[in-house]
Amino acid sequence: MILGIECTAHTFGVGIVRAGKILANQKDMYKPEKGGIIPMESAKHHKDVAEIIYQEALEQAKISEKELKGIAISISPGLAPCLLEGLRFAKKKAKDLNLPLIPVNHCIAHLEIGQNVGSKDPVLLYASGANTQIIAYSSNKYRVFGETLDMGIGNFIDSFARYVGIPFPGGPEIEKKAKNGKLIELPYSIKGMDSSFSGMLTKLKQLYDKGYTLQDLSYSLQETSFAMLVEAAERAMAHTGKNELVLGGGVACNERLQEMCRIMCGERDAKFFCPDKQLLVDNGAMIAFTGEIMSKSGNKKDLETIDILPRERTDEVLINWR
């Protein structure tokens, strides 16, 4: 029985997993009143809700904390104040209950949770607010085959949304506006498996100022940026010879993105796995799930040796559990 804590950015989540089965997945999200995330405010949010979410997870799993065998904690990558608050909480619980801590890389957790819906050796299209990466396993590391060269896809969508008066998070609202829009040509910027969104953002803002409708702009934003991601993911699948695709990250909740991935996988006879929405967004269950896999290979660490790694890259983590 492993409890997992997610704290890298806006979400404080606690999940509980036993033998790969998710028993609890509770979370609370910090929402800035206006503008983007302010790290110190998000960290304060985590501090305020931590104990409540922790208790809710125990209740949902119907277990007592004495039954826990370890605590998994997201220590990377993320906003330093948020990571620190999460680690402080995790260390306190681990000390009180005399449990080992398992440090988990957040991006890798998005990939591992694909196993919950049946994937085995996938390419992960990780499309979230701050991160946009194409990740797959190769010789003891999860390699980043492609990534954004400027902003994450979610931040890109949120930035445009904010420009037109839609508050954070803008993605879901843009998805609604995009229904039945017409395609306007936008800068399509992909190099190898890397992508960039700043040119498209500038263009979208200019077109909005010229009076183009939000419907057509939202539609074109989705069609163009998602096509870039799907193209990069397909190239990674072809390059690695893998025939599974897993989606992860908040933007993966977008049904049009899911549909485009499904079509691409269908065309190349590959399997497409899309975890449940509650497991796509930042959540404690994926941290617990990954922590459980890691702990079986002896990745429990002494409390004092664990620190946050705000800038750790996916391919810096030695994968000793596959």
Binding-site ranges for Mg ion (CB under 5 A)? 128, 282
Select 68 or 257, whichever has its Cβ closest to ligand AMP: 257
Q: Does 284 bind ligand AMP (CB under 6 A)?
A: no
Buried b (16+ CB within 10 A) or exposed e, 204-229: beebeeeeeebebbbbbbbbbbbebb
181, 249, 275, 284: residue in contact with ligand AMP (rule CB under 6 A): 249
Residue 18 to residue 37: CA distance in whole angstroms: 33
Instruction: Supply the minimum distance, in Å, between the C-beta of residue 129 and ligand AMP.
Output: 3
Q: Does 28 bind ligand AMP (CB under 6 A)?
A: no
Residue 172 to residue 161: CA distance in whole angstroms: 10
Residue 183 to residue 178: CA distance in whole angstroms: 10
β-sheet with 21-29: strand ranges across: 21-29, 11-18, 2-6, 70-76, 101-105
Considering only 85-93, 136-144, 150-158, 266-274, which stretch makes contact with ligand AMP by CB under 6 A?
A: 150-158
Select 68 or 233, whichever has its Cβ closest to ligand AMP: 233
Q: Does 132 bind ligand AMP (CB under 6 A)?
A: no
Q: Does 221 bind ligand AMP (CB under 6 A)?
A: no
Residue 210 near residue 131, CB atoms below 8 Å: no
Considering only 31-39, 117-125, 154-162, 313-321, which stretch makes contact with ligand AMP by CB under 6 A?
A: 154-162
76 binds, among Mg ion, ligand AMP, none (CB under 5 to 8 A by kind): none
Cβ-defined contacts of 295-301 (< 8 Å, 24+) = 295/2, 295/69, 295/70, 295/72, 295/100, 295/102, 296/321, 297/321, 299/102, 299/103, 300/70, 300/100, 300/101, 300/102, 301/100, 301/101, 301/102, 301/103
Q: Which of residues 160-189 bind ligand AMP (CB under 6 A)?
A: 169-172, 175
Residue 104 to residue 307: CA distance in whole angstroms: 11
250, 275, 284, 291: residue in contact with ligand AMP (rule CB under 6 A): 250
Instruction: Supply the minimum distance, in Å, between the C-beta of residue 126 and Mg ion.
Output: 7
Q: Does 32 bind ligand AMP (CB under 6 A)?
A: no
Per-residue interface string for the shown chain with ligand AMP, residues 253-282, x marking contact by CB under 6 A = xx--------------------------xx
Instruction: Supply the minimum distance, in Å, between the C-beta of residue 92 and ligand AMP.
Output: 25
Per DSSP, the three-state class of 224 is: helix
Residues that bind ligand AMP (CB under 6 A): 128-130, 154, 157-158, 169-172, 175, 249-251, 253-254, 281-282
